[in-house]
């Protein structure tokens, strides 16, 4: 019986502790709560569920999830310059009783001959924040320095942690250790702060604020276990962790008191001979007080060389077991505690130790450790799968990971959290009492009021999931009466057994139609929100809507082009005229017709511009996929210069130089306050494409008059003539005309048969490989007017047959037949039957030599059309 009870007890323990299978990502829902934020910094959630959050410019706000309502509590007067501002927020453990909250911010009032960042306690009242009490000040160097930290967090014992940055300029140490202690160079020496036991900068401090309301005088005590005891010479007792560069976001494990933080690391893209390791960001775990290495070590205690900045020579590597602060700016102890290794560390490039993190820009941050049993049961509670996992994230990369630790809290593994979900520069996250995750997203650009900055909540749905509603319409604009066919095709439910029903409203709130594809006629002019509600068999529903504008017919824009409308033939002037017809606008002012003539070098995205009507450079796409927008704007300066300013300073001859700068990083050209991060993960050609796009911003406008003569004089790229007109009702009409060279790659085909494969060649291009008889490639809407001959360039060692040029379909009218003789490389011409207008052209291979196999193939390389 005793053993049976023991077995039963172990079985129950296993059931309670088993995390189960990983939940499907579709069971998580991200809900936007507030999208009007100006540099959100930190948030905290009270025990009653109220969310409090701050913005760097000084705003303090709350969000009531029950009422779905935001309250702007106050705008604090702060010094929001450099990296300072309103940085940290924490609610007192007794907040519901005493209404105290703590803020860390740049005090706009000078203290003596300098500025400070100040930790203050406020009382929240209906009128706002009152009873300011200053607890602690951190004196600063103000001009030309970086790294402020500023995160606040309480542990379960009521101890308050505060992170501070090293207050150092990193841009004259080439991305390595900023330990320049020459006279007058204190701004470039992190040993004055991070490595100084008698300074509050470059630290994570731990204090115990007074909790007695009757004695709320701003005093605090020093908890047992800090790095230095009160009264120890040349030390500050508030220091819990030292050797920090920029510990921007911290979190405390509420069960064991372990401190976690993300450390934003230095910028060197490569290891430096006689300087030290490349830059790494870190996620750190402090189980007890300690020295975490900066500026003598980085990552897993990778040591820097002691560098003589005057002679530009290197000495010995620093010793992590016996670190020495040699700086003449040091006011603390010379001998420092042994350096502690990072918990997780990673460079710009792929990490050998933590490959899951990928590569790219870096800005590490640490979030909470989730304990399933510490949260009340609720519908949105994260599942037990995440029990005891640490949430970490990277601001620059926009990714979130969960870290699994063993029973001794050592690193075990990590995995991406919601990899398909966009997180736009996450800057803080915390769980509420219901086990739902709240997150602040900073938005696209650094040091800017971003339209995509948000407060969001992420919920888990254990049971039936709501469907996903899709909506489309065959027409979204037109004159009354306007008959529109709607569709909810593409709507789906993650729960495969659920059936769906569709209810529609077009001009009123009630149900006006049912079914997946109704038709509705709008009889009166106006703007209408057509809405579909998709409901599953369990009663869960989702909605989507589309705007229908009735009362104005879109303008018709046409381009009269005197030459062939698909091809150009060398240097050739052609007359053109843009014509616009609009039912409502009786007179069309010529100056309102916008016309552009673009030349796109070979390799640029012609298909993209034809599909969207927008000029898209490969380099622009690469920039949008990278972290560049965090520091640069198109027209406005952010951390770095605007792209327009860069284009005005440099010319095409600088492409190679600037591409290297993107890859390797650097500083000092535009500002001494911020360095450009290295991007060693980029290949040289991609970096060059990015530079070419930026430099194109200063080139002459491609805009041309609505009527005139244009000359095609370049090759082998494409020309695109675009014409647009926006009528008085705001509707756009446009036409695009693409001109390709008369000789072009067969790989430019718009579509092709399943028996075709696109193969790369030794020149970096592609050929079309025919693998089946009667396989074909297709070119959409080629103007065959005036064309008399076609020439093909093929390679086939064995096959014989005919390349048939057909119009309309793969079995349509044959307009040319090019013989295939099986002689290897063949450049062969054939006459074209006279045609007029534009046609879909199919190039079909009719094989006659006994079958196609891997030894007998046909590669079609180029096509050329001629007028004679």
Per-position DSSP letters for 140-170, written without gaps between them: ---TT-B--EEEEEE-TTS-EEEEE---B--
% of the chain beyond a pLDDT of 90: 66
Measure the N-to-C terminal CA separation of the chain; round to a whole number of Å.
101
Least confident range from 290-294, 552-556, 859-863: namely 552-556
**Whole-number pLDDT of residue 615:** 58
Query: In the predicted model, is pLDDT for residue 844 greater than 50?
Result: yes
**Whole-number pLDDT of residue 139:** 95
Of 442-451, 670-679, 739-748, 755-764, which has the strongest mean pLDDT? 739-748
Q: How many CB atoms lie within 10 A of CB 290?
A: 17
CA 539/CA 264 separation, integer angstroms: 47
CA 822/CA 857 separation, integer angstroms: 9
Question: In which band, very low, low, confident or very high, does the pLDDT at 11 lie, cut at 50, 70 and 90?
Answer: very low
Query: In the predicted model, is pLDDT for residue 13 greater than 50?
Result: no
**Whole-number pLDDT of residue 14:** 45
Q: What is the mean pLDDT of the segment spanning 368-379?
A: 96
And the tokens for 466? 């709501």
CA 743/CA 839 separation, integer angstroms: 18
CA distances to 381, 438, 562, 613 from 28, rounded to whole Å, are 10, 13, 57, 36
Tracing tokens 């360039």 back to the chain, one arrives at 793
Query: In the predicted model, is pLDDT for residue 6 greater than 60?
Result: no
Q: What is the mean pLDDT of the segment spanning 359-366?
A: 93
Tracing tokens 């009160």 back to the chain, one arrives at 230
**Whole-number pLDDT of residue 338:** 98
CA 608/CA 248 separation, integer angstroms: 40
Query: In the predicted model, is pLDDT for residue 336 greater than 70?
Result: yes
SS3 content of the chain, % helix, strand, coil (to 5): 10, 40, 50
CA 257/CA 540 separation, integer angstroms: 41
- Are 794 and 777 in contact, with CB atoms under 8 Å apart? no
Least confident range from 56-60, 71-75, 208-212, 576-580: namely 208-212
Question: In which band, very low, low, confident or very high, does the pLDDT at 834 lie, cut at 50, 70 and 90?
Answer: very high
862 strand-pairing partners: 745, 793
Question: In which band, very low, low, confident or very high, does the pLDDT at 454 lie, cut at 50, 70 and 90?
Answer: very high
- Are 802 and 837 in contact, with CB atoms under 8 Å apart? no
Average pLDDT over all residues of the chain: 90
Please indicate whether residue 260 or residue 758 has the higher confidence score (pLDDT).
260
pTM of the model: 0.69
Q: Decide: helix, strand or coil at residue 738.
A: strand
Strands in 703-704's sheet, in edge-to-edge order, are: 567-568, 732-741, 718-726, 593-600, 703-704
302 strand-pairing partners: 298
Query: In the predicted model, is pLDDT for residue 15 greater than 70?
Result: no
Tracing tokens 């025990």 back to the chain, one arrives at 47
Radius of gyration, alpha carbons of the chain: 33
Query: In the predicted model, is pLDDT for residue 668 greater than 70?
Result: no
**Whole-number pLDDT of residue 661:** 84
% of the chain beyond a pLDDT of 70: 92
Segment holding 841, helix H or strand E: strand 838-847
Least confident range from 200-204, 211-215, 468-472: namely 211-215
Question: In which band, very low, low, confident or very high, does the pLDDT at 289 lie, cut at 50, 70 and 90?
Answer: very high
**Whole-number pLDDT of residue 570:** 85
Torsion sign, CA atoms 369, 373, 376, 381:
positive
DSSP assignments along 51-80, one per residue: EEEEETTSEEEEEETTTTEEEEEEE-----
Question: In which band, very low, low, confident or very high, does the pLDDT at 177 lie, cut at 50, 70 and 90?
Answer: very high
Least confident range from 224-228, 398-402, 412-416, 538-542: namely 538-542
Angle of helix 655-664 versus helix 684-696 axis, rounded to 10: 120
Q: What angle do CA 438, 440, 441 make, to 5 degrees?
A: 130
CA 643/CA 657 separation, integer angstroms: 16
Q: Which DSSP letter does residue 676 get? A: B
CA 182/CA 186 separation, integer angstroms: 8
**Whole-number pLDDT of residue 825:** 92
**Whole-number pLDDT of residue 549:** 84
**Whole-number pLDDT of residue 93:** 96
799-831: per-residue pLDDT in tens?
Answer: 899 999 999 999 999 999 999 998 889 999 999
Q: How many CB atoms lie within 10 A of CB 826?
A: 16
- CA dihedral (670, 672, 674, 680) in degrees, to 10, reads 70
Query: In the predicted model, is pLDDT for residue 335 greater than 70?
Result: yes
203 strand-pairing partners: 242
**Whole-number pLDDT of residue 688:** 82
Least confident range from 277-281, 359-363, 616-620: namely 616-620
Please indicate whether residue 58 or residue 714 has the higher confidence score (pLDDT).
58
Listed residue (52, 112, 82, 717) closest to 446, CA to CA:
82
Tracing tokens 């023991």 back to the chain, one arrives at 6
- Are 102 and 120 in contact, with CB atoms under 8 Å apart? yes
Please indicate whether residue 862 or residue 36 has the higher confidence score (pLDDT).
862
Q: What is the mean pLDDT of the segment spanning 291-307?
A: 98
**Whole-number pLDDT of residue 154:** 98
Tracing tokens 């920039």 back to the chain, one arrives at 623
**Whole-number pLDDT of residue 672:** 55
Query: In the predicted model, is pLDDT for residue 680 greater than 80?
Result: no
Q: Number of H helices and number of E strands within the chain?
A: 7, 57
**Whole-number pLDDT of residue 786:** 95
Least confident range from 268-272, 312-316, 341-345: namely 268-272
Q: What is the mean pLDDT of the segment spanning 425-446?
A: 94
Q: What is the mean pLDDT of the segment spanning 575-602?
A: 87
**Whole-number pLDDT of residue 608:** 57
**Whole-number pLDDT of residue 217:** 65
210-243: per-residue pLDDT in tens?
Answer: 876 555 567 899 999 999 999 999 999 999 999 9
**Whole-number pLDDT of residue 673:** 59
Whether a cis peptide bond, with omega within 30° of 0, leads into 782 is no
Please indicate whether residue 305 or residue 552 has the higher confidence score (pLDDT).
305
Query: In the predicted model, is pLDDT for residue 109 greater than 50?
Result: yes
Query: In the predicted model, is pLDDT for residue 651 greater than 90?
Result: no
369 strand-pairing partners: 390
Query: In the predicted model, is pLDDT for residue 418 greater than 90?
Result: yes
Least confident range from 250-264, 342-356, 477-491, 623-637: namely 623-637
């Amino acid at each position: 019986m005793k053993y049976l009870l023991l077995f039963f007890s172990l079985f129950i323990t296993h059931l309670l502790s088993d995390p189960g299978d990983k939940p499907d990502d579709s069971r998580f829902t991200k809900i936007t709560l507030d999208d009007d934020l100006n540099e959100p910094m930190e948030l905290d959630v009270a025990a009653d569920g109220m969310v409090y959050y701050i913005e760097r410019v000084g705003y303090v706000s709350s969000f009531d999830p029950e009422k779905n309502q935001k309250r702007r509590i106050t705008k604090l007067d702060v010094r929001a310059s450099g990296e300072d501002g309103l940085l940290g927020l924490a609610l007192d453990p007794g907040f519901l009783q005493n209404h105290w909250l703590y803020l860390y911010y740049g005090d706009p009032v000078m203290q003596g001959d300098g500025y400070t960042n100040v930790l203050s306690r406020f009382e929240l009242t209906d009128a706002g924040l009152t009873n300011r009490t200053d607890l602690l000040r951190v004196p600063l160097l103000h001009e030309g320095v970086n790294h402020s930290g500023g995160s606040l967090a309480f542990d379960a014992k009521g101890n308050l942690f505060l992170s501070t940055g090293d207050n150092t300029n990193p841009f004259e140490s080439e991305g390595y250790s900023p330990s320049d202690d020459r006279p007058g160079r204190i701004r470039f020496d992190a040993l004055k702060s991070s490595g100084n036991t008698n300074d509050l900068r470059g630290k994570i401090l731990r204090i115990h604020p007074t909790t007695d309301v009757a004695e709320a005088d701003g005093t605090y005590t020093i908890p047992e276990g800090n790095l230095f005891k009160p009264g120890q010479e040349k030390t500050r007792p508030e220091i819990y962790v030292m050797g920090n560069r920029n510990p921007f976001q911290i979190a405390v494990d509420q069960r064991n008191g372990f401190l976690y933080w993300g450390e934003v690391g230095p910028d060197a893209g490569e290891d430096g001979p006689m300087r030290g390791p490349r830059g790494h960001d870190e996620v750190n775990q402090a189980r007890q007080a300690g020295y975490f290495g900066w500026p003598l070590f980085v990552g897993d205690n990778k040591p820097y060389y002691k560098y003589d900045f005057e002679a530009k020579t290197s000495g010995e590597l620093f010793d992590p077991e016996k670190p020495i602060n040699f700086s003449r700016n040091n006011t603390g102890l010379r001998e420092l505690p042994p350096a502690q290794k990072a918990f997780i560390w990673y460079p710009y490039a792929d990490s050998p130790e933590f490959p899951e993190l990928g590569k790219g820009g870096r800005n590490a941050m640490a979030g909470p450790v989730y304990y399933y049993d510490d949260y009340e049961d609720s519908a949105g509670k994260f599942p037990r799968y995440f029990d005891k996992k640490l949430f970490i994230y990277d601001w620059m990369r926009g990714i979130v990971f969960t870290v699994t630790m063993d029973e001794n809290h050592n690193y075990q593994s990590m995995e991406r959290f919601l990899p398909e979900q966009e997180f736009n520069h996450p800057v803080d996250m915390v769980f509420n009492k219901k086990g739902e995750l709240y997150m602040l997203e900073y938005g696209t650009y650094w040091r800017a009021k971003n339209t995509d900055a948000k407060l969001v909540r992420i919920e888990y749905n254990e049971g039936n999931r709501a469907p996903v509603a899709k909506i489309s319409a065959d027409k979204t604009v037109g004159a009354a009466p306007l008959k529109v066919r709607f569709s909810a095709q593409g709507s789906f439910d993650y729960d495969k057994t659920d059936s769906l029903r569709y209810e529609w409203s077009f001009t009123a709130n009630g149900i006006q139609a049912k079914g997946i594809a109704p038709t509705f006629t709008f009889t009166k002019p106006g703007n209408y929100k057509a809405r579909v509600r998709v409901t599953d068999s369990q009663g869960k529903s989702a909605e989507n809507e589309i705007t229908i504008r009735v009362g104005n017919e879109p303008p018709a824009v046409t381009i009269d082009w005197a030459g062939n409308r698909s091809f150009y033939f060398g240097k050739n002037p052609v007359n053109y005229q843009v014509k616009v017809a609009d039912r409502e606008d009786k007179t069309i002012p010529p100056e309102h017709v916008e016309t552009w003539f673009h030349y796109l070098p070979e390799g640029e995205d012609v298909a993209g511009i034809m599909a969207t009507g927008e000029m898209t450079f490969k380099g622009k796409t690469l920039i949008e996929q990278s972290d560049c927008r965090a520091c640069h704007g198109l027209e406005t300066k952010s951390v770095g210069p605007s792209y327009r300013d860069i284009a005005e300073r440099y010319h095409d001859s600088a492409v190679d130089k600037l591409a290297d700068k993107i890859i390797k990083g650097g500083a000092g050209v535009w500002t001494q306050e911020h360095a450009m991060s290295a991007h060693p993960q980029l290949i040289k050609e991609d970096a060059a494409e990015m530079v070419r796009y930026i430099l194109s911003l200063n080139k002459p406008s491609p805009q041309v008059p609505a009527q005139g003569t244009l000359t095609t004089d370049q090759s082998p790229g494409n020309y695109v003539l675009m014409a647009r007109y926006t009528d008085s009702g705001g509707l756009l009409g446009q036409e695009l005309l693409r001109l390709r060279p008369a000789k072009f790659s067969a790989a430019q085909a718009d579509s092709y048969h399943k028996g075709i494969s696109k193969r790369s060649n030794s020149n970096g291009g592609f050929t079309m490989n025919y693998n089946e008889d009667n396989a074909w490639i297709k070119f959409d809407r080629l103007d065959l007017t005036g064309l008399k001959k076609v020439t093909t360039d093929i390679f086939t060692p064995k096959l014989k047959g005919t390349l048939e040029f057909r119009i309309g379909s793969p079995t349509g009218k044959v307009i040319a037949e090019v013989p295939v003789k099986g002689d290897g490389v063949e450049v062969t011409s054939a006459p074209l039957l006279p045609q007029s207008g534009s046609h879909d052209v199919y190039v079909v291979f009719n094989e006659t030599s006994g079958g196609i196999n891997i030894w007998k193939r046909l590669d079609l390389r180029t096509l050329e059309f001629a007028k004679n």
